[in-house]
Structure 1
Amino acid sequence: MTQVLRKVVTFEEFVAKYPDNTGKRYELHDGVVVEMPQPTGDHEGIILFLATKITLEYSQLSLPYGIPKTVLVKPPENESAYSPDVLILNLPNLVNEPLWKKESTVTQPASIPLVVEVVSTNWRDDYHKKYADYEEMGIPEYWIVDYAALGGREFIGKPKQPTILVCTLEEGEYQINKFRGNDRIQSLLFPELNLTVQQIFEAGGAIMS
Structure 2
Amino acid sequence: MTQTTTERLYSFEEYLAYDDGTDNRYELVDGKLELMNPPTFRHLLISDFIELAFDTEIKRLSLPWLCFREAGVRTGWRKSRLPDVYVVTAEQVKEVLDESAVCQTAPILVVEVVSLDSAKRDYRYKRSEYAALEIPEYWIVDPIESKITILLLSEGLYEEKEFTKSEQIVSATFPEIVLTVEQILAAGNIE
What TM-score results when the alignment is normalised by the length of structure 1?
0.83
Q: Is the helix fraction higher in 1 or 2?
A: 1
| Aligned pairs for 1:14-163 within 5 A | 14-18=15-19, 20-69=20-69, 71-76=71-76, 78-95=77-94, 101-109=98-106, 112-120=107-115, 121-149=117-145, 162-163=146-147
Distance 1:3 1:36 in 2: 7
> Which letter does structure 1 place at the counterpart of 2:150?
V
Q: Which residue of 1 aligns with 2:185?
A: 201
- Tell me by how many angstroms 1:94 deviates: 3.5
- Tell me by how many angstroms 1:104 deviates: 3.1
Q: Which residue of 2 aligns with 1:172?
A: 156
Structure 1 stretches (4+) deviating beyond 4 angstroms? none
> Which letter does structure 1 place at the counterpart of 2:110?
V
Distance 1:13 1:125 in 2: 23
Distance 2:104 2:153 in 1: 17
- Tell me by how many angstroms 1:147 deviates: 0.6
Question: Is the contact made by 1:74 and 1:106 (CA closer than 8 Å) also made in structure 2?
Answer: yes
Residue aligned with 1:145, SS: strand
- Tell me by how many angstroms 1:27 deviates: 0.7
- Tell me by how many angstroms 1:43 deviates: 0.6
Question: Is the contact made by 2:70 and 2:84 (CA closer than 8 Å) also made in structure 1?
Answer: no
Distance 2:178 2:34 in 1: 35
Q: Is the strand fraction higher in 1 or 2?
A: 2
Residue aligned with 2:58, SS: helix
**Alpha carbon RMSD of aligned pairs, Å?**
2.0
Distance 2:162 2:68 in 1: 27
Question: Is the contact made by 1:100 and 1:106 (CA closer than 8 Å) also made in structure 2?
Answer: no
Question: Is the contact made by 1:26 and 1:35 (CA closer than 8 Å) also made in structure 2?
Answer: yes
Q: Which string of whole-angstrom CA distances, capped at 9 and with x for unpartnered residues, describes residues 37-89 of structure 1?
A: 1211111110010000111011101101112355321124x311111100111
Change (3 A) 1:70 1:166: closer
